[in-house]
Amino acid sequence: MAQEPNAPASGTNELRGSVREWIETMQKIQAEEDAWEKDNDVLKGYKEGLEKEIEDLKEQIERAKVRKEGGDKQSLDKLSERDRLAAAQEELTKQVRVLEQGLGDRLPIFPHPLRQEAKVAAAIETLQKSLQLPPEKQNEDVSKRLFNAIELLAEVEKFQQQIHLHSELRKDSQGREFKMQVVYFGLAMAYGVNEDGSFAVAGRPEKDGWKFTERPDLAAQIQQLVVSASSEKDATFTQLPLVQP
């Protein structure tokens, strides 16, 4: 006699499979975020070191201002103090340059929506001008350049910690342009789809910028993701594959 199909067992297996895939996806997303956090910690370390350098420099400048001119010993002290100030200024200039270059190297992984933000766009423009300074001018406007780099780093970190939904125009492999809704998971990955679901893409950052590939097989899931990202109701789980490099 034929056996009845074991529907509950099948349903349980499907649920376990979905949960397993969800866990794997979350782990991979976390790995992407950890990679950025590692780079970000390095930049923050530069920032904190520079802030301390600035405070020390300010204290030394104040002490130099209040020191009165006197005899030979005092004159020698002033010369020594001047040398220390010059050395501190030189070190500060070097560290600001390291911070600027670190951010400059990471500009390609900044997605279009982040670059469009007014504060970020202005900071990037200032950063790029600073990176073009010749060696003999890299000691100019050091404090302003440091502040700009720190502000840019803060805006990038803010973007990294959130999910963003943006409207964009993208072309398919045939050159046809579509208006799409694109969901960015910080700096890790993105999924986009047009209104009728006929064109869908998935993307992630690479060394030379964000790369998007056509994924028509994911259109329905991405549409569900867009609805969830734009809704004020409780979020629903949408199963999507990790975008491979």
**DSSP string of 121-143, one letter each residue:** HHHHHHHHHHHT--GGGTTSSHH
Q: Residue 186 in contact with residue 172, Cβ under 8 Å?
A: no
Q: Which is more confidently placed, 128 or 7?
A: 128
Asked if residue 131 lies in contact with residue 100, where contact means CB atoms within 8 angstroms, the answer is yes
Using the 8-state DSSP alphabet, how is residue 7 labeled? H
For the segment 106-110, the average pLDDT, to the nearest whole number, is 94
Spatial CA neighbour of 168 closest among 212, 138, 227, 224: 212
Q: Is the pTM of this model over 0.75?
A: no
Per cent of the chain over pLDDT 70 is: 62
Q: Which residue has the tokens 């349980």?
A: 12
Higher per-residue pLDDT: 120 or 162: 120
Over the chain, what is the mean pLDDT? 79
Q: How confident is the model at residue 88 (pLDDT cuts 50, 70, 90)?
A: confident
Closest CA to 117 of 146, 177, 158: 158
Token readout for 192 is 């986009």
pLDDT of 218 > 70? The answer is: yes
The answer to whether residue 1 scores a pLDDT higher than 70 is no
Q: Is 180 helix (H, G, I), strand (E, B) or coil?
A: strand
Q: What pLDDT does 3 receive? A: 45
Q: List the single range of 67-71, 113-117, 218-222, 236-240 with lowest mean pLDDT.
A: 67-71
CA distance 143 to 82: 19
Collapse the DSSP code of 242 into the 3-class scheme (helix H, G, I; strand E, B; otherwise coil) and give the result.
coil
What is the model's pLDDT at position 222?
94
pLDDT at 46: 63
CB 180 within 8 A of CB 189: no
Query: What's the whole-number mean pLDDT along residues 104-123?
Result: 95
Q: Which of 112, 166, 129 is nearest to 120 (CA)?
A: 112
Give the integer Cα–Cα distance in Å for 204 and 237: 20
pLDDT exceeds 60 at position 125: yes
Distance between CA 198 and CA 222 in Å, rounded? 11
Q: Which amino acid is at 218?
A: L
Helices (H), the chain: 7-66, 72-106, 112-116, 118-131, 142-160, 219-230
Q: Does 34 have pLDDT greater than 70?
A: no
C-beta neighbour count of 149 within 10 angstroms: 26
Per mean pLDDT, which range of 7-11, 18-22, 177-181, 202-206 is the poorest? 7-11
Q: How confident is the model at residue 128 (pLDDT cuts 50, 70, 90)?
A: very high
Q: Can you give the pLDDT at residue 2?
A: 42
- Domain locations in the chain? 32-160, 163-230
When mean pLDDT is compared across 2-16, 96-110, 150-164, the lowest value belongs to: 2-16
Q: At which residue do the structure tokens 């895939």 appear?
A: 21
